[in-house]
């Protein structure tokens, strides 16, 4: 194979693998059997594995590198910032952070004008909840099943997927509700309109039964990502906004994955014309080049802390390297029209092609998404919707499918019975089509496991 990478780089990769297995403790894994993939080089929409094989990155590294890898403008901005000021304590003003805050506040909807910076998504969620509790003087937090909000203690408790089971003993005050999810409706809905109406009725019941005067916040991914990119049916988020306003509950939109152009708008809430009270972000804010996250805060919640001390902070809040990367990322996205491009790719290429695949592959149960944020849900039986892998687990069928996609040169994001199509917003049409061809071809594998 034409590896395109030097023998030295490959040797370094082999050594890194040995050291990794000896000393690195990995996230979300049984450490023994785990066989991680080595990456020795990245560029644009490509990554090179430990054998020097070039793969199209359709995962964006946990839906993170919205502008692709090694964008020269961002790499240069980080280098320039490093030469000037690498780090400074958060109580001091730094130019990169001030500019990043301005660029973010100008793009967030409504009056989300104040930015609290964190190191990533989970701590943004932790701080948003704390702010909501202090603002309302209430304690409970409502969050959806089939959601992901982060791996720290409160964030993993709030998360509505099986990963919280090992650590939700401290989930005092966290109450889960059933989200609107038309394909596997908990309410027996047959249409999106029915699902919206029933899911909102359920939510209002939950609020009433839990006691509105005890509920500080409701947190919801605007388009749930890790849990399956199931965009809310028409009217659902508007309804959530109305209910939270009616009961004085702080509405936290978690846009850690869906934000910064992923859905074809700067923030996913714009697709549904709602403005939350708090909005968490991370990942796409600087394409993950340097760890950064944050909370965008409304004017009203900001007022709570005008004279009251906010008892919370992080040494790296608004870190200069991360902030400089955010400034360069947002400017590059703007200059290169990436948000509009994401919308076009979803509308003209990904959406139509996945629908076409659904018509032809019996193992595709559902196709959904928008912008550069899509998922296909694989089933053994279209009638019963029996998933190709159980919720929260893997299966030999899914492993075989993912193996074949990788062997054909595409790195997918796979979760349970789903393949997510989440490329960089600036992937070329040609590469995207090539990657979709690979998935199309590989799906004959799961078709073979369909029990009619």
Interface with ligand PMP (CB under 6 A): 62, 120-122, 125, 148-150, 221, 225-226, 254, 256-257, 282, 293
Between 10 and 112, name the residue whose CB sits nearer to ligand PMP. 112
Minimum CB–partner distance for residue 59 and ligand PMP (Å): 12
Between 226 and 271, name the residue whose CB sits nearer to ligand PMP. 226
What are the phi and psi torsion angles at 291 (to 5°)?
A: -55, 130
Minimum CB–partner distance for residue 159 and ligand PMP (Å): 8
Beta 293-298 vs 112-118: how paired, if at all? Answer: antiparallel
Residue pair 376/364 in contact (Cβ under 8 Å)? The answer is yes
Residue pair 446/257 in contact (Cβ under 8 Å)? The answer is no
Minimum CB–partner distance for residue 192 and ligand PMP (Å): 22
d(CA 221, CA 144): 9
Minimum CB–partner distance for residue 61 and ligand PMP (Å): 11
Residue nearest to ligand PMP (CB): 121
Minimum CB–partner distance for residue 252 and ligand PMP (Å): 10
Spell out the long-range contacts of 389-394 with Cβ–Cβ below 8 A and sequence spacing 24 or more.
Answer: 389/416, 389/417, 390/416, 390/417, 391/162, 391/416, 391/417, 392/161, 392/162, 392/163, 392/416
Minimum CB–partner distance for residue 232 and ligand PMP (Å): 14
d(CA 376, CA 366): 6
Between 13 and 369, name the residue whose CB sits nearer to ligand PMP. 369
């Amino acid at each position: 194979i034409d590896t395109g990478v030097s023998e030295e780089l490959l040797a370094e990769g082999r050594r890194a693998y040995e050291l990794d297995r000896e000393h690195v403790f990995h996230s979300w894994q049984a450490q023994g059997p785990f066989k991680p993939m080595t990456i020795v080089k990245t560029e644009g929409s490509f990554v090179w594995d430990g054998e020097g094989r070039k793969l199209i990155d359709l995962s964006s590294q946990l839906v993170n590198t919205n502008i692709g890898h090694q964008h020269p403008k961002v790499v240069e901005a980080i280098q320039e910032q490093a030469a000037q000021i690498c780090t400074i304590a958060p109580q001091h003003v730094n130019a990169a952070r001030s500019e990043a805050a301005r660029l973010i506040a100008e793009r967030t909807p409504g009056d989300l004008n104040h930015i609290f910076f964190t190191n990533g998504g989970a701590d943004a969620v932790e701080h948003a909840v704390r702010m909501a509790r202090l603002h309302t003087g209430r304690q409970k937090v409502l969050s959806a099943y089939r959601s992901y909000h982060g791996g720290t203690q409160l964030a993993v408790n709030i998360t509505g997927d099986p990963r919280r089971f090992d650590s939700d003993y401290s989930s005092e005050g966290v109450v889960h509700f059933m989200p609107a999810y038309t394909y596997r409706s908990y309410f027996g809905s047959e249409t999106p309109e029915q699902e919206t109406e029933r899911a909102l009725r359920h939510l209002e019941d939950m609020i009433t039964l839990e006691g509105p005067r005890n509920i500080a916040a409701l947190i919801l991914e605007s388009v749930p990502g890790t849990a399956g990119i199931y965009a809310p049916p028409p009217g659902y988020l508007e309804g959530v906004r109305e209910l939270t306003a009616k009961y004085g509950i702080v509405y936290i939109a978690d846009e850690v994955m869906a934000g910064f152009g992923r859905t074809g708008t700067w923030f996913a809430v714009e697709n549904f014309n709602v403005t939350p009270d708090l909005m968490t972000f991370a990942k796409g804010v600087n394409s993950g080049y340097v760890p950064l996250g944050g909370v965008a805060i409304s004017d009203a919640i900001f007022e709570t802390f005008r004279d009251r001390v906010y008892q919370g902070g992080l040494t790296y809040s608004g870190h200069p390297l991360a902030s400089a990367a955010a400034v360069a990322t947002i400017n590059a996205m703007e200059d290169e029209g990436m948000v509009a491009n994401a919308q076009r790719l979803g509308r003209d290429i990904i959406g139509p092609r996945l629908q076409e695949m659904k018509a032809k592959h019996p193992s595709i149960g559902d196709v959904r998404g928008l912008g550069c944020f899509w998922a296909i849900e694989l089933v053994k039986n279209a009638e019963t919707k029996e998933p190709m892998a159980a919720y929260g687990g893997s299966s030999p069928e899914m492993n075989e499918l993912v193996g074949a996609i990788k062997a054909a040169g595409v790195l997918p994001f796979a979760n349970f019975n789903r393949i997510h199509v989440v490329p960089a917003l600036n992937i070329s049409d040609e590469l995207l089509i090539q990657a979709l061809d690979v998935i199309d071809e590989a799906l004959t594998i799961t078709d073979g496991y369909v029990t009619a």
